[in-house]
Amino acid sequence: MVVCLPPERRGRPVKSKEKIIEKYRSQPVLWLEDTFGVELTDYQEEIINSTFENRYTSVRSGHGLGKSYSIACAVVAFLHLHVDSLVLTTASTRSQLSAHWSPIRKLMEQANAPLGTEVFRFELRCGPLWRALGLSTNDPANIVGFHSEKMLVVVDESCGVDPEIHDRIDTLLTSEGSHRLDCSNPYSRESPFKALCDNPETNEIHLSCYDSPNVVHGEEVVPGLVSKEWIERKRQDWGENSDMWRVAVLGEWPLSDSDALIPVDWVQKAQDRWEEVEPDGEPIYGVDPGGAGTGETVIVTRRGSYVSKVQGWYGLEGPAIIQKVKENTMSDCVVNIDSVGLGSTLPAYAKEEGIYAVGINGAEVPIEREDARNRRAECYLNLRDALDPNGDIKLAIPSDDVLAGQLTSIKYKLDSKGRVQLESKKEMKSRGLNSPDRADALAYTFSGGQSAGLSPISVGVGEGSFIDDNLARNSPFEYVSWRDF
């Protein structure tokens, strides 16, 4: 390995490589500056220094604070300043693994002089046993058999990593020269990451979005980091009393209120799965009308356990809504439309356009669940089951902050018969929240027997026929679809 000298040292008698490395090992940030010309924020420097100085370092933070770049700098510095060291990185998904390996490779490209390091997609190789590796967490067996006197293990989005992976990592850190760096948004109090943060041996670094230089200075100082404008948008989307605000903005643990229907960590894990799941089966559509005011008209498309990116428009009503539905859905597939209030006339418009739609009246009695007070609660309980990471469906949803905020803000209570009753939209408004249009549209894709993610079943409905709730309810099939025999 070639060690880059700072400008003031060039032309002077050359010290041995060992002495140069020893000097920089106590000043890893200086080495990064001299070797790559990096400019780091104060908290990024703190993360890197802590990784070198402490056996355990945890970083719990809000969104958009440059955690991936901090990891990249820590990995490259630790590897090169510890001869014959081993660095392992992992994450809850392969896309998150790529999120910190991409800046690792870019960092290596900007070295002021060749370091003699071979660079691969998920590996840096300084020598046969001197390397950094990125490991997938799909199989816990991948995290086994690695040992070194000088080792760093990095866990990105640690909250989402399987507890068995955490256990296996602990078995690797046997030498005195072992270090561990865990970074994550703190979205689960039940995760091993929470236990690590609470460990008295861990140096815990807590970062809020308000720590971003772009927020501190009120202008873009570091491109790509979170801004004051983003925070204000999230304040409007989520409200300051929501768990999403606590986790994603403040970097605080969720309160996990007992009356919250869907936990924050379930939504996060569903988002993490999205890039690794493929659409499966016929599409099922959920439509929530927004009207001519500030509400959003939303179309959600689900194919099996895969949910496509949400489509939404403002200022639509009546025929304009149905026109959007016609343009953005397949003509022979089920379309579930909210038929209460603003949506009361939509089934009739849909019939005129030849759209086979099912009107969803949330106040009606459930189709199949005895634990739901009404149809709306039934849809949401089916959706909750699909989001359960220990369930059969394991729904995958796109990274959509508005959708995530709505899903995690809905509260419930039990009625006198022990059935789930969701809070009304009026009650949500009293808490400063907007109508959960995106969450409702997603829930409508889980109406009735569709909760099991089944493919549509043909019942021989003639062209142009209109399917209403009564036909859907009394069909002998799992649920009604519209294919001719």
SS3 percent helix, strand, coil of the chain, rounded to 5, is 40, 20, 40
Can you give the pLDDT at residue 433?
82
| Helix/strand/coil for 101 | helix
Residue 277 has a pLDDT of 92
Residue 450's nearest CA partner among 261, 279, 278, 283 is 283
What's the pLDDT score for residue 257?
60
In whole angstroms, what is the distance from residue 339 CA to residue 358 CA?
A: 9
Element (H, E) at 302: strand 291-303
Give the pLDDT of residue 292: 66
Asked if 313 and 462 count as a contact pair (C-beta separation under 8 A), the reply is no
**Per-10-residue mean pLDDT for the chain, 485 residues long?**
52 63 93 96 98 98 96 98 95 88 97 93 94 81 81 94 90 93 93 95 98 96 95 88 90 82 93 92 92 83 96 90 91 86 82 86 91 94 94 94 93 86 88 88 83 36 41 40 33
Amino acid 182: pLDDT: 98
Angle at 158 between CA 153 and CA 163, to 5 degrees: 90
**Domains, in order of start, for the chain:** 7-207 (3.40.50.300), 272-474 (3.30.420.240)
Mean pLDDT of the chain: 86
Look at residue 442 in the predicted model and tell me its pLDDT. Answer: 97
Report residue 71 CA to chain centroid gap.
18
Do 125 and 117 form a contact (C-beta atoms < 8 A)?
A: yes
Q: pTM (2 decimals)?
A: 0.77
Rounded Cα distance, 31 and 321, in Å: 59
Helix (H, G, I), strand (E, B), or coil: what is residue 355? coil
Q: Residue ranges of the alpha helices (H) in 173-263?
A: 192-198, 213-216, 228-238, 243-245
| pLDDT recorded at residue 16 | 67
Strands 412-414 and 150-156, sheet pairing: unpaired
